[in-house]
Amino acid sequence: MHYRRFGKTNLPLSVFSLGTMRCLASAEVAYETVVAAIAQGINHLETARGYGNSELYLGAALQAGLPQPRSRLYITTKLPPMADASQMDRSIDESLTRLGLDYIDALAIHGVNTWEHLDWLKAEQGCMAAVHRAIVDGRVRHVGFSTHGSLELILATITTDQFEFVNLHYYYFFQRHAPAVALAHQKDMGVFIISPADKGGMLYTPPATLETLCHPLSPLDLNSRWLLSDPRITTLSVGAANPAELARPLAMADHTEPLSPDEIAILDRLHTHLTQTLGTDRCSQCYDCLPCPESIQIPEVLRLRNLAIAYEMTQFGQYRYRMFENAGHWFPGNKANRCNDCGDCLPRCPESLDIPTLLRDAHERLHGQPGRRLWG
């Protein structure tokens, strides 16, 4: 296991972190998973108030005794943005109680997803007033934020200079947030990549076409290598539900070197295949088509279409697409069948795509039973 400095927090985090959202079968399974992760070199354990019993199970594991002392483990929990400082103050104390701790190494404001959330963070008596008090009195040592918001919102939140780290969606198959990684690095913030296997493309169960294109690496390993070869990125989450699910991602824990010529050749092969397969229907993700009068998240819909057609990542596309209209600010936007052919987006597309036709095709490929976030 390699370790990297988590930005200005100066915490030496393992390049893989255990995210405990899925360690929920029982307190016993959670304990076994935490023990196995620590035994394999992980020193950063992440939970959140919104993850069911996760804080309680992690707290029980900490109290039961682990292979490393508390002083050599780094615990992050996450609390949602709040308009009221007193509510945040109570929530911090409740999380400490659930975890059985007297301090949290890192507190992340969980889900800075809307401009209203950012207003709460900037308000004089908003939740950050309580966080700052908790840092002064030692209950919290470092503060950051997680986000499912737009790039513009993420950049604006980083620019407040209130945070020491950021939890981001950023993967080979979703590079929209590259400017956020660059800005966070410029400001010496730690960068924690969340859900690289699942939201990064359901890479545990890749389609045959994607496996062939990535050979001799697996798509999961290629994505890990692409991320870990970037020294600006500190750590990647592993959302293991049990100890057995740690083995595959952690196979890359010592491979943080720059990409090899062979790995670069695989990436070139993926890009060439995408370009050739989609031809003139390829959306390059410039986002100039937004805003849509019908609140369709056009670039994301067309990204999922790109992946489904080029790499046969249809199952992943369906999984994400079904969350539109069902996950609130965690995955905003309407489904593509809301398009009424108004044409508002057409003159803004630098590639002159027939966007309404592509949206209808994407809906036919990807719609199905509604989905939702694991934690509402």
Give the C-alpha distances (Å, rounded to integers) separating 188 from 158, 180, 195, 240.
11, 12, 22, 29
233-270: per-residue pLDDT in tens? Answer: 999 999 999 999 999 999 999 999 999 999 999 999 99
Dihedral over Cα of 85, 86, 91, 93: its sign: positive
pLDDT over threshold 80, residue 331: yes
Residue 155: pLDDT band (50, 70, 90) is very high
Q: Is the peptide bond before 216 cis (omega within 30 degrees of 0)?
A: yes
pLDDT at 25: 78
Residue 215 makes CB contacts below 8 A (sequence gap 6+) with 266
CA neighbor of 359 nearest in space, from 346, 369, 372: 346
The rounded distance, in Å, linking the Cα atoms of 366 and 219 is 22
Residue 114 pLDDT: 96
Average pLDDT over every residue of 358-375 = 77
Span 73-79, average pLDDT: 97
Distance (Å, whole) CA 78 – CA 51: 9
Count other C-beta atoms under 10 Å from residue 60's C-beta: 18
The closest of 102, 199, 141 to 6, measured between CA atoms, is 141
- CA pair distance 78, 344, nearest whole angstrom: 39
Q: What is the torsion angle, in degrees rounded to the nearest 10, for the CA atoms of residue 57, residue 246, residue 233 and residue 50?
A: -30
Q: Which amino acid is at 261?
A: P
Q: What is the pLDDT of residues 183-192, one digit of tens each?
A: 999 999 999 9
Q: What is the DSSP letter of 9?
A: T
At 174, give phi and psi (nearest 5°). -150, 95
Locate 134 and state its tokens: 């908790």
Q: What's at 71, amino acid-wise?
A: S
Q: Are 266 and 219 in contact (CB under 8 A)?
A: no
Which residues on neighbouring strands pair with residue 5, listed in sequence order?
12
Tokens of 96: 């400490």
Give the separation between CA 211 and CA 31, rounded to whole angstroms: 33
Q: What angle do CA 217, 219, 224 make, to 5 degrees?
A: 90
Q: Facing residues of 110 across strands?
A: 146
Residue 363 token pair: 């809906």
Is residue 295 within 8 A of residue 339, CB to CB? The reply is no
Q: Is the pLDDT of residue 373 over 90?
A: no
**Is 370's pLDDT higher than 80?**
no
CB atoms inside a 10 Å sphere around CB 28: 12
pLDDT of residue 23: 78
- At 51, the pLDDT band (50, 70, 90 cuts) reads confident
Burial class (CB in 10 A: 0-12, 13-18, 19+), 241: middle
Q: How far apart are CA 147 and CA 110, in angstroms?
A: 7
Residue 301 CA to residue 63 CA, distance in Å, equals 45
User: Please, which pLDDT band fits residue 369 given cuts at 50, 70 and 90?
Assistant: low
Q: Is 176 exposed, middle or buried (0-12, 13-18, 19+ CB in 10 A)?
A: middle
- In this structure, of 45-54, 229-238, 289-298, the range with the lowest mean pLDDT score is 45-54
For residue 159, what pLDDT band results from cuts at 50, 70 and 90? very high
Structure tokens at 370: 């509604």
Quote the pLDDT of residue 52. Answer: 86
Mean of the pLDDT values across residues 77-88?
96
